Amino acid sequence: MIHLPYLKKFKWSYLDRERMKQVLRQNDDPFSYTNNNLYIIQAARSKPQMYDDGANFFLFCQARELERKWMVIMPHGPDVHKHMLQLGHDLKAKYGEQLLIKKVNSEFKKKLETTGYFKEVPLAKYGEKRDIALLPDDIFPESIIKFQKIFGAHLKSEANPFEKYPILKKSLRERYRSFIYRNRSYIEIVTIAQLKELKKLKDLDNLFNRWIVDLKRRYKKAQISYPKKQKYFTSPYNKMIKYAIKNNGLYPSYIIKLNGVIAGASIYGKTAERACAQYLNIADTQFRDAAEFAILYALQDLHEKYNIDWVNCGGAEYEGLHNFIQKFSPEYRQMYYMTYV
């Protein structure tokens, strides 16, 4: 870890948790994917350092596997772009390192560009060969699903516990009902906390292993180099699972079991009063339509129990995933990645 005098170690201590609550409350963007503690766990795979002067705040950590690039996540504050400039200058002057700033909106992008020292990192296009550590994970815009675009407004009969609201889009409705019909005798949905009580958390490892095999195949097809680090994806997921269990009730989770086998897992976190983000969503593709079922079921439950109307699914890493999310008629939002030059 690089040590600069104005940075201090970030810990999940009481003081840091309280400060994070203040920072997150200051964000007036209800759809912000970064506006939740789970994003820190997801983005900062290495232990972050923190800058906080009371008005401006950011987290600083190594950019995944890349040896010579460091990144900032969750910059907040009226003058935080000036601190980005100082940090970028010090990293380059003292260590020869390059700074990357993740997921900034168009307004903050303009502030960085006015310094004359930051430029946008162009997102890779489908078919380009690229190192996942050299460019951001998501090369497509964030996808935000609106509940009212998918479902009717009124609760249906309780006769079907899996379809509480009428699904408006015919293609999704058919896939959803087909999945239920094929698996109706042995569908079970539990939370991560319930899975722990059953002493079955290890079963998630089996799902992760099957998912990684499939993901490597998809990355190869999209001509994306897969990370060398063995637990590149599963390490933050396991951390998120532990954090969700520790803060039971704050992070809705859905574990889909078919005849005792875990076919899918997802975790959501609120970003605003009526909005949340999806920080984990994986499904075993050997179970046809399981991925569609997982999202449609979660959307209904989030709306009914948590009054959620909007879900930010983040950006996709490859075209196949982006095309999958398009089934849910999302609205798109472009976020930017900036680097010090």
**Of 200, 195, 64, residue with least CA distance to 133:** 64
Q: Residue 200: its pLDDT value, please? A: 87
Determine which helix (DSSP H) or strand (DSSP E) holds 90, and give its type and residue range: helix 80-90
**Which of the two residues, 281 and 47, has the higher pLDDT score?**
281
* Residue 142 dihedral angles phi and psi, to the nearest 5°: -65, 140
* pTM check: above 0.75: yes
Contact between residue 44 and residue 72 where contact means Cβ atoms under 8 Å apart: no
Contact between residue 117 and residue 48 where contact means Cβ atoms under 8 Å apart: no
Say which range, 1-5, 27-31, 82-86, 291-295, has the weakest mean pLDDT.
Answer: 1-5
Residue 313 exposed, middle or buried by CB count within 10 Å (0-12, 13-18, 19+): buried
Fold of 8-124: Aminopeptidase (3.40.630)
**Of 287, 269, 211, 205, residue with least CA distance to 238:** 205
Q: Residue 126: its pLDDT value, please? A: 46
Q: Residue 23: its pLDDT value, please? A: 87
The CA distance from 245 to 296, in Å, is: 23
Q: What is the tens place of the pLDDT at every residue in 259-302? A: 999 999 999 999 999 999 999 999 998 899 999 999 999 999 99
Q: What is the mean pLDDT of residues 168-176?
A: 93
Asked if the model's pLDDT at residue 64 lies above 70, the reply is: no
Q: Residue 143: its pLDDT value, please? A: 95
Q: Residue 180: its pLDDT value, please? A: 93
Secondary structure of residue 110 in the 3-state scheme: helix
Secondary structure of residue 331 in the 3-state scheme: strand
Contact between residue 255 and residue 225 where contact means Cβ atoms under 8 Å apart: no
Confidence band (pLDDT; 50, 70, 90) for 163?
Answer: confident
Contact between residue 33 and residue 143 where contact means Cβ atoms under 8 Å apart: no
What stretch(es) of the chain map to CATH 3.40.630.30?
A: 8-124, 142-334
Asked if the model's pLDDT at residue 66 lies above 60, the reply is: no
For all residues of the chain together, what is the average pLDDT?
86
Cα angle value 227/233/237 (rounded, 5°): 170
Q: Residue 230: its pLDDT value, please? A: 66
Determine which helix (DSSP H) or strand (DSSP E) holds 143, and give its type and residue range: strand 142-146
- Given the DSSP bridges, would you call strands 69-76 and 310-312 parallel, antiparallel or unpaired? unpaired
Contact between residue 341 and residue 117 where contact means Cβ atoms under 8 Å apart: yes
Contact between residue 312 and residue 142 where contact means Cβ atoms under 8 Å apart: yes
Q: Residue 188: its pLDDT value, please? A: 94
Site of tokens 């799902």:
207
Q: Residue 133: its pLDDT value, please? A: 47
Q: What is the mean pLDDT of residues 31-38?
A: 91
Strand partners, 280: 267
Residue 317, number of CB atoms within 10 A of its CB: 20
Asked if the model's pLDDT at residue 132 lies above 60, the reply is: no
* The domain over range 142-334 is classified in CATH as 3.40.630.30: yes
Q: What is the tens place of the pLDDT at every residue in 245-268? A: 988 888 999 999 999 999 999 999
* Half-sphere exposure at residue 73, Cβ-oriented, CA atoms within 13 angstroms: 26
What percent of the chain has a predicted confidence (pLDDT) above 70?
90
Q: What is the tens place of the pLDDT at every residue in 303-314? A: 999 999 999 999
Say which range, 48-62, 118-132, 267-281, has the weakest mean pLDDT.
Answer: 118-132
Q: Residue 235: its pLDDT value, please? A: 84
